[in-house]
A and B are shown apart, each in its own frame.
Chain A
Amino acid sequence: MRYQNATAYRFLAPYLLIFAIFWVWPIIDSFMISFQATRTVPWRFAPTFNWGRLIGDPAFFNALKNTLLILVIQVPVMITLALVMAVLLNSPLLKARGLYRFAFFAPVVVGEVAYSAVFRLMFNLNFGIINKLLNSVGLPSVDWFSNVTPAMALIMIAVTWRWAGYNAIILLAGMQSIPEDVYEAATLDRVSKLRQFFFITLPLLKPVIVFCLVLSIIGTMQLFTEPFLITERGGPGGGTETLGLLLYRQGFRSLNFGYASAVAYTMAGLAIAITLVQLWLTREPK
């Protein structure tokens, strides 16, 4: 095949133009802004101004701690749940498959604002249906919004509800691309279903699981809407403030773009580091 540079780039041009203006330049710009003091006019170059503040800022470490805590608990729980959903939805024994699929996949189309509003009402202290149901089976009400631990749990529950089905869709597609005869051979050899899952499905699904993990980690790393809307700007008292929320507060409430850019680059650094570790841990043995 001969080179067709002109034709190819003509097709790519509009896409690459958007990419250059709205991604490539901002990535560079963001890095440069993080080395500037941006609350003076004009902005001035001050290499340690934001980064120096960052490493001594309790608000930053609080947001970092919360974000990592959510990441470490919520992502594995959700991926495990998504895996369970996918395996069971894939079972030939399942009747009314469409209804179950609808139940698990429906949250995928629900917007963040709509579901945040519902979760706020459902978990209301005195009038929320969740506490009413807890009371009806003899359990005490939980104050989901005034205590840090329940508030964090609520954020994790909400995010898991919203995204488990999304991951289940990807995992299910991955499972369905595993050839049927592998399982038939295993069944003939009287390998139990459970062992088939651990010794056939899981290893063959590994790249897909890694893909889901990476997407989920990047997503949770930037968590913003849920602590913004459900727990009311990261409440109680910053107990659910995430890096995404800190960035929003610093960048768009205090208009401190330099500091917010430093926070953004910390998020990017963490995301890249975690992704690399992930890829390294799950690398194919040579």
Chain B
Amino acid sequence: MSSLSSARLGRSIALHLFLTPLALIWLFPLWMMVVFSTMPDNGIFSPGIELLPHGNFMDNFNNLQRDTDFVGAIGISVSVAVTYTFLSVLLTSMAGWALARYRFVGKGVVVAIILGTITLPYAVVLIPQFIMVARDFKLANTWVALIVPPLFNSLGVLFMRQSFSMMPDDLFDAARVEGVKEWRIFLFVALPLARPMLAALAIILFLASWNNYLWPLLINSQPGSMTAPVALGTLIGLTKVSWGGIMAGAVMLTVPMLVVFVLLQRHFIAGIAAGAIK
């Protein structure tokens, strides 16, 4: 017995000896992001090795705000992400509900098409989407342009279909016998029961909108209508720019999401793992 447990101890030590350096390497870029954001520019571009935070965050932030209206861009990003998340959760769960709970003509086709879009590169729809929104609808540099086209998502619908189809029939049949309308059953019986799944979905959608880069870069390119990642991206590669400021912006984009991740880790992981659950 003692030899067994000492073998286990050896294996446990080997496991930690391997995993700890890997974890530190993985945390390193995030740690350096924080360190850079607190260093003056001449400190970032100096020969010494600096691995600990300094006290220059506010100066860097002021430099960033001088280079671009980052606070305004954060305001746009937050408003867009909140609106997008609300609308997308609603649309996605309605569609998931229909696919999970009703029998209807064309159901197989709808599911097959949704599955098919998973393997279709977004690049294929990008150009016509841009032409349509910018030229035909004349909606470039508006919130609508940021919010509406990305509303379609396939994994979210499949996740909600899975969630609703696992609920027992009796719950809804009881309400139907009472003559309750279908949309009321959806809103007041099904959605409250799906709360954990909705939370997972909402977090993933919020994050997707918050970090979205290519579409906002193309469609909202006017200063004053840019989202925060786009505003920050315009600074990267400029010659006369405060890199401490860019890092302060990166921290402001990243740290709130890390806090959300730590607090709601279970929902987060459930949302990402959703694709794998059959």
A46 within 8 A of B: no
Q: A11-B98, A26-B132, A106-B261 are in contact. Are A113 and B124 (CB under 8 A)?
A: no
Contact with B along A185-225 (1 / 0, CB 8 A): 00000000000000000000001100110110010011011
Name the residue among B18, B23, B210 with the largest chain A CB count within 10 angstroms: B23
Q: Which of B104, B132, B218, B261 has the most CB of A within 10 A?
A: B104
Are B125 and A114 neighbours in the complex by a CB distance under 8 Å?
Answer: no
Minimum CB–CB distance from B16 to chain A (whole Å) comes to: 7
Residues of B near A107 (CB, < 8 A) are 26, 29-30
Q: Is the interface of B mostly helix, strand, loop or mixed?
A: helix
Complex Cα distance, B29 from A26, in Å, reads: 38
A109 with B152: in contact, given A14-B91, A93-B11, A122-B29 (CB under 8 Å)?
Answer: no
Task: For A232, give its contact among B29, B119, B237 (CB under 8 Å).
Answer: B237
Contact A8 B27 (CB under 8 A): no
The answer to the question of B24 belonging to the interface, with a C-beta cut-off of 8 Å to chain A, is: yes
Contact of B253 among A30, A111, A207, A229 (CB under 8 A): A111
Q: Which residues of A contact B249 (CB under 8 A)?
A: 114
Which of A3, A93, A103, A166 has a CB less than 8 Å from the CB of B272? A166
Considering only CB atoms, which chain A residue lies closest to B33 in the complex? A118
Which one of B121, B218, B262 lies within 8 Å of A252 (CB-CB)? B218
A139 sits at the interface (CB 8 A): no
A94 CB within 8 Å of chain B:
yes
User: With the chains together, A222 CA to B123 CA distance in Å?
Assistant: 7
CB 8 Å contact bits of B16-46 with A (1 = contact, 0 = none): 1011001110110110110010000000111
Chain A contributes a number of interface residues (CB within 8 A of B) equal to 103
Q: Count B interface residues, CB 8 Å.
A: 95
* Closest residue of B by beta carbon distance from A28: B128
Residues in B neighbouring A171, C-beta threshold 8 A: 276
Q: Which chain B residues in 126-140 approach chain A with CB under 8 Å?
A: 126-132
Contact of A109 among B51, B105, B123, B257 (CB under 8 A): B257
Q: Is B260's CB under 8 angstroms from A109's CB?
A: yes
Point out the residue from B104, B127, B261, B275 that lies within 8 Å of A211, measured CB to CB: B275
Is residue A271 contacting chain B, with contact meaning CB distance below 8 A?
yes
Contact A22 B149 (CB under 8 A): yes
**A3's contact among B29, B103, B113, B131, by CB below 8 Å, is which?**
B103
Q: How far is the CA of A221 from the CA of B123 in the complex (A)?
A: 10
Instruction: Contact check, A117 vs B236: say whether CB atoms are below 8 A apart.
Output: yes
Q: A93-B12, A222-B121 are in contact. Are A174 and B276 (CB under 8 A)?
A: yes
Report the Cα distance A14→B157, complex, angstroms: 13
From A2, A129, A171, name the one whose CB has the most chain B CB atoms within 10 angstroms: A129
Q: List 20 A-B contacts (CB under 8 A).
A: A2-B103, A11-B95, A11-B182, A15-B157, A23-B152, A26-B125, A27-B128, A93-B8, A102-B261, A103-B24, A104-B26, A106-B30, A113-B213, A113-B232, A121-B243, A133-B49, A161-B29, A170-B272, A222-B123, A264-B123
New A-B contacts (10) at CB < 8 Å, excluding given A95-B16, A212-B276, A229-B237: A4-B103, A15-B157, A23-B117, A25-B128, A30-B124, A88-B15, A94-B12, A110-B254, A118-B29, A261-B128
List A residues at the B interface (Cβ < 8 Å).
Answer: 1-5, 7-12, 14-16, 18-19, 21-23, 25-27, 29-30, 33, 85, 88, 91, 93-95, 99-122, 124, 126-127, 129, 132-133, 136, 161, 165-166, 169-174, 177, 207-208, 211-212, 214-215, 218, 221-222, 224-225, 229, 232-233, 243-244, 247-248, 251-252, 257, 260-261, 263-265, 267-268, 271-272, 275
